[in-house]
Amino acid sequence: MLLEIRDLHVEFETDGVVTRAVEGVSLSLDRGQVLGLVGESGCGKSATAMSVPRLLPMPPARITRGRILFDGKELSRMPVGELRRLRGARIGVIFQDPMTSLSPLHRIGRQLAEVIHLHKEVSRSAARQLAIEWLDRVGIPEPASRIDAYPHELSGGMQQRVMIAMALILEPDLIIADEPTTALDVTIQAQILSVMRKLLHARAGLLLITHDMGVVSQMATHVAVMYAGQIVEQAEAGAFFRRPLHPYSVALMDAMPSSATRGQRLKAIPGQVPAAGAFPTGCRFHDRCPVARAECSRQPPELAASGEMLVRCPYV
Ligand SMILES: Nc1ncnc2c1ncn2[C@@H]1O[C@H](COP(=O)(O)OP(=O)(O)OP(=O)(O)O)[C@@H](O)[C@H]1O
Ligand code: SF4
Ligand SMILES: [Mg+2]
């Protein structure tokens, strides 16, 4: 198995207040697979994914429990130097905000070349050529001249593409992509997704975080739905999209634009994700669940097998 996350717990502590952002998440991902991690804002998707390469700000974050195995190696206890060598070369990370990984002070060509030189013995001209190739692949027009631009000379969408090129340029085995295409227009989004698909054919695994069920349905082989810090449903993508079981998954799917509703406003799920630290007792979804029963506010449901799927609701 390429990546195994077992019983991960992550909390944030700010001014003595502890919020439990991730509670007991277990996920696995093999080569050639795309695991779509979905859920509304604040459900703990980034906290889960960024725990893998240990790229959460610590403090305020801390991993309090769980194991993270990459190709059988325990990452949560790996020395920082060794982990740094894995990042970039074998684990590529695409962030929600491009400026997380771009420096405003250096030309993008230099930043891409630095990533290459850090992990590979190649000449300066070969590194520059590779950087131009990748800028082209992610849809940067006139890459041979844009390579000498500073990040602030590029639009937000272009910065996003440069950052994606930087994460993929060494063709990592594991790609962690946190909302990689949300800021991009539809054509560029399709191009980026196609670049990622090619890498997957070369036996990478992709952990894809997104609010966009449309992107998940195009890309994912497996789906995990998060709500309020926990997995509420986990399944193979075909089965999930044929018939999602958890009422929250059903609501997310209903909110997805279809060809019939395109152009209309997205249907929002009534209510809000509870803040981490203020979860309701019983089922965390009960105050928004259209099929909730009285007992749902008392007993917290377990994640349990239902056929081939895992579901955190005993009433489906
Ligand atoms: N640096 C931080 N300090 C304190 N709390 C944080 C921090 N980062 C995240 N959290 C909290 O952890 C919880 C999970 O956040 P996370 O960023 O993982 O959500 P998410 O599912 O990625 O949401 P989004 O879709 O908006 O990116 C939230 O309640 C959030 O407020
Ligand atoms: S346990 Fe109850 S409230 Fe929770 S999802 Fe199932 S039916 Fe809805
Ligand atoms: Mg996030």
The 10s digit of each residue's pLDDT in 62-96 is 999 999 999 999 998 899 899 988 988 899 999 88
Testing ligand 1's pocket by substitution, the residue of 11, 12, 63 carrying the most ligand atoms inside 8 A of its CB is 12
pLDDT in tens, 15-26: 989 999 999 999
Cα(231)–Cα(36) distance, rounded to whole angstroms? Answer: 12
Sign of CA dihedral 187, 190, 194, 200: positive
Considering the entire predicted model, what is its pTM? 0.92
Atom number, ligand 1, closest to the C-alpha of residue 43? 21
Question: Does domain 3-90+172-311 sit in CATH 3.30.465.10?
Answer: no
Which two tokens mark 53? 């390469």
CA 211 to centroid of ligand 3, rounded, Å: 9
- Whether 285 lines ligand 2, by a CB cut-off of 6 Å, is yes
pLDDT in tens, 258-285: 655 555 555 678 888 888 778 889 999 9
Cα(7)–Cα(95) distance, rounded to whole angstroms? Answer: 24
CA 124 to centroid of ligand 1, rounded, Å: 39
| Strand order across the beta sheet in which 3-14 lies | 17-29, 3-14, 61-70, 73-74
CA 272 to centroid of ligand 1, rounded, Å: 14
- Whether 12 lines ligand 1, by a CB cut-off of 6 Å, is yes
CA 38 to centroid of ligand 3, rounded, Å: 10
CA 42 to centroid of ligand 1, rounded, Å: 5
- Whether 286 lines ligand 2, by a CB cut-off of 6 Å, is yes
pLDDT in tens, 113-122: 999 998 889 9
pLDDT in tens, 39-56: 998 999 999 999 999 999
Q: Which ligand is nearest to the CA of 37?
A: 1
Atom number, ligand 2, closest to the C-alpha of residue 290? 8
Residues of the chain with CATH 3.40.50.300: 3-90+172-311
Query: What confidence score (pLDDT) does residue 188 get?
Result: 79
Q: Which residues contact 275 (CB under 8 A, 6 or more apart)?
A: 19, 42
Q: List Cα–Cα distances, 229 to 5, 39, 74, 155, 307, in angstroms.
A: 14, 10, 22, 33, 24
* Residue with CA nearest ligand 2 atom 6: 313
More confident residue, 108 or 271: 108
| Strand order across the beta sheet in which 34-38 lies | 91-94, 174-178, 205-210, 34-38, 222-227, 230-236, 309-311, 304-306
pLDDT at 233 over 60: yes
Query: How far separated are the first and last CA of the chain, in Å rounded?
Result: 30
Cα(115)–Cα(38) distance, rounded to whole angstroms? Answer: 30
Atom number, ligand 2, closest to the C-alpha of residue 246? 5
More confident residue, 270 or 223: 223
